[in-house]
Every structure is written in structure tokens, then in C-alpha cells.
Amino acid sequence: MEYTTQQNFETLGVSEALLAGLAKQNITHPTDIQQKMIPAICTGKDVVGRSETGSGKTLAYLLPIFLRIDQNVRGTQAIILTPTHELAAQVQKQAELLAKNAGVPISSALIIGTAGIQRQMEKLKEKPQIVVGSAGRMLDLIKRRKIQAHLVKTIVLDEGDRLLEDGNFAVVQAVIKTTLRDRQLVLLSASVSGETLQRAKQIMKDDMMQLEAQAQRGLVPENIAHHYILTTHREKFLMLRKVLAGEKPTKAMIFLNNPENIEVTVDKLNYHGIKADGIYGQAGKEERKSALEDFRNGKISVLVASDIGARGLDIADVTHIIHLDIPEDATQYLHRAGRCGRNGKSGCSISLVTPYERKWIHKYEKVWGIRFTQKDMVQGKLVDSAKTKKDLEKKPQKQTNTTKKSKKTSEKRNKK
């Protein structure tokens, strides 16, 4: 993780209790986005922040939320919305951990669609100050008056670009409308398109602040290497097996475009003796949780996912991202690749592409200013294609009849 040294948590106004709590997680220096977001959110103004994945954006909003919460008041003071349940669970875990480590009486609840509403209502009786979850369930519980929206000071839209997309925008707006006009809106995302910004402006106040972290270095962390291997549709799975066998990744995430193909891919991998599981959209909450747990604690080294399931997930030590399908959307590529190389560790993102799909690689290079290296699997090793070509050229080639013939004609031509 990159730090700049001008600011530290004390100068940003982080309390001693929170400092001590962070130290227990070995967090001692604020990241770039934290240096920018913490003071901005503390002003109470609306904020749009752009920051690369894995750059510490969760704490960039949780810390100022903790600072702004009135610990003597029970009831919802902050709502955090996320596009996926996994991300919500991760954020809520971080909030819980921070409160516990810092010894502050700030509690949080996870409010997501697939989980039992009865248990969530029980939890809400304890009047947690922070609720994290999906907009639909949140709205439901606000309408049932289980969440008191009038106390809300801050609403965070994490992975906000997704939350403002057509399918989600209406319900997100409905949640926002249940709160008072002077509450603060914070939107965070690795990518903020013109459309996202336009929608954000529709729901934010005129004096909203716009922040960018590390834009000058590009949005894709530099410690991730980007490779692609040319193959055919038919050979993709075989190539995947070759890459896994050759690279022996400690933790690899395999991405597919269509969630419906996750199950069959997992089955095929297991059939070939590769311990893998998947995060399926349709699977029960428990199954998803156990697949994630097994992957986190190293019981399995391969996790198959689609973009929907994996967005925003923070899993430590993912070494490889393999795109069995390549996303057409450059932003999606950024989100996927950002699952590896977290906390400054090195990571490797490998795209398996057909000659037709290679154009997307060029697109990502342009959009994100990154360089891809073409690779091949040769004798179980991932090697530069440029090198394999050179090696082939070096090998003395047998002269075929046609080459002999063309040599003769060119000699004739030269004589003329």
C-alpha cells in the first residue's frame, strides 16, 4: 500500500481510541484516499471519492463516520449501501472490528436481502448506530419503522457507480428520500464515469466535494502484472488447467462473464483434481459464506466467480486473477484485477483471449494506461511470447520444397 507522509491519523483528527484500535490491525499510516476523505467527510459536506481498489476506502469513510457518531444516541446515524451482500458483510465486519479494537460503544448491523428479516429486526431492536447492506432490504425495514431514518447523518454509497446504475438507482434514491435533507451523502468508487457523476449531482448538494486519490499514477495498482495468452474458445479450459498447473498459485480467482457457468467450471476443475469452489449468485448464503471462508483460510486455492459475486471483496493474498472470459467493459477489468496485489503485494492478472477478443486488451491498455505482456505456456511455464518467437526463429528450419522453390525464384530475380 502506498503512503504519502504529509498527514498522519492524529493530524487528520482521528481519536486516540480509534488510533489504538487501528494499531491492533497494524494500521498506522493513512493511505492517500484516507488522507483526503477523512477531513472531507468530517466537514459534513457531500463527497464523491475515486480511489483504486484495495486502497483502504472502507476505513476512509468508516473512520469519519465513527468520529461523527454521537455515542450517547442509539439508533441509525449512518447507512452504508453496497451493491453486493459480500461487500456489505465485509464492511460490517470492519466496523465491528474497529469498534471492538477501539473499545468504543458503536454497534452495527448487517441488513441484506437473502438473510432472515426476523433476525435483522431483532438486531435492530438494539438500535445500532450503523447499518450496512442492500438498498432493497434497507428500504423495507425503514418502511416498517425498524430503522429510524430521521436520525441518519451520513449515507455512504460504496461502489457507488453500480448503485447509481439503472437497476439500482430508483431504490437507492428511495432510501435517501426517507432521510432528512441535511444528511450527508458520500459516494465511493474505483471508477466514476460522467454518467455516475451526473447522477450523483442529481442527489447531492451543490457544494459537494470531489476527490481523487492517486489519479496521477493511474488507477490500476502498479504491483499487478497484466498478461494475456492467445487461445481458442475450445482450448480455454485446457489452457486454464495448464496455467494453474504451471503457476501453482497460492490463491487464484477465476472470472467468468456468465454466472451460470460457474458451477460447471467448478465441477470440471474438481474432476481434474483441482480444489476449487465458486461464489454462485443463486446459491444459499451459507454456501457462499463457506466457499469464501475456505478460500480465505487456504483450504481451497481456487475460487470461481462472476463480477456480481466478487465486486469489492477484500481477500488477503490473492496472487492470481485469471479471466476465463474477458470482460468487455474496461472498468470491470479494473475491478477484477484489483482483487490481487492488495496491500502492496505483487499480483498477476492473466487473460485467456481468442484472437477476436484481443481487441479488449488493447482497449484496457488505452483506458488505464497499463501494459500487457503476451505470454505462452511452454513446458509448464508461463513465458513471454516474444521470447518463444525468437527461440523458434533461432532453430534451424528444414527447407521444404516451397521454400526451396521460392529461394530459387528470388535468386533468379536478383540475377535479373
Nearer to ligand AMP, 8 or 178 (CB): 8
Shortest distance, position 269 Cβ to ligand AMP, whole Å: 27
CA dihedral 209, 210, 216, 217 (to 10 degrees): 110
Shortest distance, position 2 Cβ to ligand AMP, whole Å: 10
Shortest distance, position 89 Cβ to ligand AMP, whole Å: 13
Nearer to ligand AMP, 227 or 251 (CB): 251
Measured distance CA(133)–CA(124) in Å, rounded: 13
What the block records as the C-alpha cell of 352 is 485467456
Measured distance CA(213)–CA(364) in Å, rounded: 20
Contacts of 406 by beta carbon, 8 Å cutoff, 6+ apart: none
The answer to whether residues 1 and 56 touch, using CB atoms and an 8 Å cutoff, is yes
Phi-psi region of 103 (alpha: psi -120 to 50; beta: other; left: phi over 0): left
Shortest distance, position 54 Cβ to ligand AMP, whole Å: 5
DSSP 58-91: HHHHHHHHHHHS-TT--S--EEEE-SSHHHHHHH
Shortest distance, position 158 Cβ to ligand AMP, whole Å: 9
Nearer to ligand AMP, 4 or 25 (CB): 25
Nearer to ligand AMP, 101 or 270 (CB): 101
Shortest distance, position 82 Cβ to ligand AMP, whole Å: 11
Nearer to ligand AMP, 289 or 296 (CB): 296
- Interface residues toward ligand AMP, by CB under 6 A: 1, 25, 27, 29-31, 34, 54-59, 314, 342-343
What the block records as the C-alpha cell of 297 is 483460510
Nearer to ligand AMP, 27 or 139 (CB): 27
Nearer to ligand AMP, 26 or 409 (CB): 26
The answer to whether residues 225 and 346 touch, using CB atoms and an 8 Å cutoff, is yes
Percentages of the chain per state (helix, strand, coil), in multiples of 5? 45, 20, 35
Shortest distance, position 18 Cβ to ligand AMP, whole Å: 12
DSSP H/E element including 23: helix 16-24
The answer to whether residues 81 and 175 touch, using CB atoms and an 8 Å cutoff, is yes
Using Cβ positions, the residue closest to ligand AMP within the complex turns out to be: 56
Phi-psi region of 13 (alpha: psi -120 to 50; beta: other; left: phi over 0): left
Q: Are strands 224-230 and 47-50 parallel, antiparallel or unpaired?
A: unpaired
Nearer to ligand AMP, 49 or 54 (CB): 54
Shortest distance, position 218 Cβ to ligand AMP, whole Å: 16
